[in-house]
Structure 1
Amino acid sequence: MNNLLSILFYPKKTTSVKSTAAVIYGRLTYNGKRIDFTTSRKIDIKNWNTHSNNAKGNSDESKSINRYLDSIKAKLYNIHDRLIRDNQTISSKIIRDIYFGKGEEERMLMEIFQDHNDQMKKLIGKGYTKGTMQRYEACKNHIENYLLYSYKKKDIPVQEVDHKFITGFDHYLKSQKDCAHNTALKYIVNFKKIIRIAYANQWIDRDPFFHWKGTWKSSEREYLTDMELQKMAEIEFDIPRLDLVRDIFLFCCYTGLAFADVKKLSENDIVIGMNGKKWIKTKRQKTNSMSSIPILEVPEAILEKYSDHPQVKTGKVVLPVLTNQKSNAYLKEIADVCGIKKNLTTHLARHTFATTVTLSKGVPIESVGKMLGHKSLKTTQIYAKVLDEKVAKDMEALEQKMRQQK
């Protein structure tokens, strides 16, 4: 196994131009990764043999230097052999640190990740949400599986994470876990935070993400058209669970509330606005920003429909919302019944509110952003799609004006 380890010595001149004195440095290379260290010995540069990497001649000084360098090399090889015998993790840094008597234990990647997640759990509701926690837990599980798949290990020193590890993780997520590009990128961004923690604490001496750059792919966000919304609203369901999920979905379509926000919506979140009508004023669970939404006829009718529901009568919520998992499963059934070919999810309702219900009807993007609870207009602009239907109406209006001018 010694062929994996390479040790050589080289002189490094002092800063003085006139001086020929040089400090002798050692270079450890293991599996292509190298690390340098000083031997604290000096030599006149003209007495160094660049081919044999040692001192020239048979002088007492040269013999002393060469004996010293040979002893360093022997000790380094002994450390390397001992690590192999003990089945320990090996790296050039580990070998160097053991030689210099550094007793600091190598920080392990998965231990750092677990510490981060444990700390995050304590801050749920105090800056972090359960959803964020779940994403980091999922990311940690993916890293664990990637280590077993590619490295046949349960954990590695965080120092061993390099650019190859990151790109390999990206490939693993897409090829083995069938993650879409943006989904894989989200996991890598989560992982990047863990590595930055290690870098900030000086557990690693370089940032492996320095040369990594991820780019998001723009994706078409699906939404329902007016005709599809009407079809869903008019259809009658004999199965109560489908009727309930359809109503909650429509409520989100006409309020723009995310699923997590409609699930926690209470009477305290419904107030009378300046215009004398009912408004929803609630803080988004994801960003803690305020959403201000006038209640239209459709959502008001849905609130009235479920006002006598046992869950609502407790006073904690205004709608009996099922879990996100069940809602998404039942929405697939609803789509089949309604003849809608799109992939219905609870979040598609928010897209529908932003496009079909508001922006396409001429509601200013600033107002839409306020209702969606966006902190930045850039976020709202993601939804700012001009629908074909609106383009057709605008062109019809233009055509009519042109006829009148003739």
Structure 2
Amino acid sequence: MQVSFTLRKDKITKSGLMPVRMLITSNGERIRKSVRNVKTLEKYWKNQRIKPNLKSEDYNFHVEYNKQLDDLENKVKLIFRYALLNDIEADKNYILQQLDNKNFGKNSIAPKFIDSFDEFIETNRSSKAEGTIKKYVSTINFIKDFQQYSNYDLSFNNIDLNFYEKFRDYAFNERNTLNNYFGRLIAGIKTFMNWAYERNYHENLEFKKFKTIHNTIEVIYLTMDELMALYNYKFDSKRLEHVRDFYCMGAFTGLRFSDLSQLKPSNIYPDEIRLSIQKTKSIGHVTPLNNFSKAILKKYAGTIYEPIPSISGQKFNKYIKECCKKVGIDTPVNTTRYIGQRRVDKVQPKHELITSHTAKKSFITNSLILGMKEMVVRNITGNIDEKSFKRYVEIAEDFKKQEMDNTWNKL
């Protein structure tokens, strides 16, 4: 489907004004429709729009007329989109009928919110990381649960502050949702609403007022002593040994779980790993190898597991906790989370908090403690925002102060 605008030179007035006509081309059929009350001199017509007049000339209403043309083109796109979503044949009669329908685009016939969210997910599958798509799916599933619980009328025009407050109360009071997860849900909704707005599915910008919530949480990582204890532990189970090696590979290189999972022998070089980073889309990223990561790769070279054994994320997070428990990584760790304004404090043995994400955190923190320059750490690990990285630096500085207190200050 294409929309274009032309001048009706055959309808020129005595003053030289020419009416504008819209031409819609779809499936080999052409639909012509005059644009009401829009006329211009030929000298102002350029790239299917009316260019501004000179200061010395009378005002030619280019702003008002161009807006009318833009609105008309957007309406045509919305009509075709609605027809596609609802299996309606968009023939000439249907298009002209809806163009004359002043109510088109209102709640009654606008694209459906849930259907459009599903389309949003499918559209992004080819360009977004798998983890991002999972977040989008979790968001729409949470919204569906909210709709079923509250009977809220979900439509584009109803995504407003009233929706936000009801959705927030449901998340905190009925689902005991942590603030940071609620913040991710709201971020997902805002991303979708922006996507839909750009496609002219709605004109509602109330969602821009939604506040995402984010509370700073503890950085969970393995200290060098804990990491080396895990690395050197002799497991009776090959399953746990493989999980341990995969985790340690992340903790020795700073690579994410998703990047380690796609690692191939062709990515391995004598002193480095070269691969495209899945999350940041960085091409040819170089990760230096140290003696520990080289030893793990050497262990599996020439085996069916080369370069390293892989495992699904869900099972991995379960098994790495089991590994750390066997090693004795059980230091009590205090964690604080918030559900709305309600504070939730927990004390857990450290092994219960170890997941695939803590491998990269362990690499960053231990590298800084061992004296690696901040710029080098950031370069190796890729995309870390300034605020997040500052927290790792502070942890490293605190560790150095503790070591000073435990050594020199005891003399």
- Check if 1:298 corresponds to 2:292: yes
Residue number in structure 2 paired with 1:330: 319
Give the letter for the 1:284 counterpart.
I
Give the letter for the 1:219 counterpart.
I
Distance in 2 separating the partners of 1:370 and 1:103? 52
SS in 2 for 1:383: helix
Q: Where does 1:177-326 land on structure 2 (aligned, <5 Å)?
A: 177-272=175-270, 278-289=271-282, 291-312=285-306, 318-326=307-315
Distance in 2 separating the partners of 1:193 and 1:359? 35
Distance in 2 separating the partners of 1:367 and 1:107? 49
With structure 1 as the length reference, what TM-score do the two structures score?
A: 0.65
Distance in 2 separating the partners of 1:195 and 1:167? 17
**Cα distance change on mapping 1:369 and 1:103 into 2, 3 Å:** closer
Q: Where does 1:27-176 land on structure 2 (aligned, <5 Å)?
A: 102-104=103-105, 105-121=109-125, 123=126, 127-151=127-151, 156-176=154-174
**Cα distance change on mapping 1:240 and 1:175 into 2, 3 Å:** farther
Number of residues of Structure 1 aligned to a counterpart in Structure 2: 286
* 8 Å contact from structure 1 (residues 366, 377) kept in 2: no
Q: Which of 386, 400, 405 is 1:390 aligned to?
A: 400
Distance in 1 separating the partners of 2:285 and 2:406? 35
**C-alpha deviation, 1:331, in angstroms:** 1.2
Residue number in structure 1 paired with 2:357: 347
Tell me, which stretches of 5 or more residues in structure 1 are unaligned? 1-96, 273-277, 313-317
* 8 Å contact from structure 1 (residues 256, 350) kept in 2: yes
Distance in 2 separating the partners of 1:247 and 1:309? 14
**C-alpha deviation, 1:287, in angstroms:** 0.8
Residue number in structure 1 paired with 2:380: 371
SS in 2 for 1:221: coil
* 8 Å contact from structure 2 (residues 104, 110) kept in 1: no
Distance in 2 separating the partners of 1:131 and 1:386? 28
- Structure with more relative contact order (C-alpha pairs < 8 Å, separation 6 or more): 2
**C-alpha deviation, 1:249, in angstroms:** 0.8
**C-alpha deviation, 1:381, in angstroms:** 2.8
**C-alpha deviation, 1:395, in angstroms:** 5.7
In terms of Rg, which structure is larger?
1
* 8 Å contact from structure 1 (residues 246, 334) kept in 2: yes
Deviations 1:172-192 (A, max 9, x none): 233333332111111111111
Percent sequence identity is 26
**C-alpha deviation, 1:110, in angstroms:** 0.6
Distance in 2 separating the partners of 1:138 and 1:215? 17
* 8 Å contact from structure 1 (residues 374, 380) kept in 2: no
**Cα distance change on mapping 1:118 and 1:293 into 2, 3 Å:** closer
SS in 2 for 1:223: coil
Distance in 1 separating the partners of 2:104 and 2:229? 70
**Cα distance change on mapping 1:254 and 1:149 into 2, 3 Å:** same
SS in 2 for 1:384: helix
Distance in 1 separating the partners of 2:176 and 2:321? 21
SS in 2 for 1:386: helix
With structure 2 as the length reference, what TM-score do the two structures score?
A: 0.64
Give the letter for the 1:150 counterpart.
S
SS in 1 for 2:296: helix
Distance in 2 separating the partners of 1:377 and 1:291? 20
- Check if 1:359 corresponds to 2:368: yes
Distance in 2 separating the partners of 1:209 and 1:246? 44
| Greater Cα shift, 253-262 or 178-187 | 178-187
Tell me, which stretches of 5 or more residues in structure 2 are unaligned? 1-97, 330-348
Give the letter for the 2:194 counterpart.
R
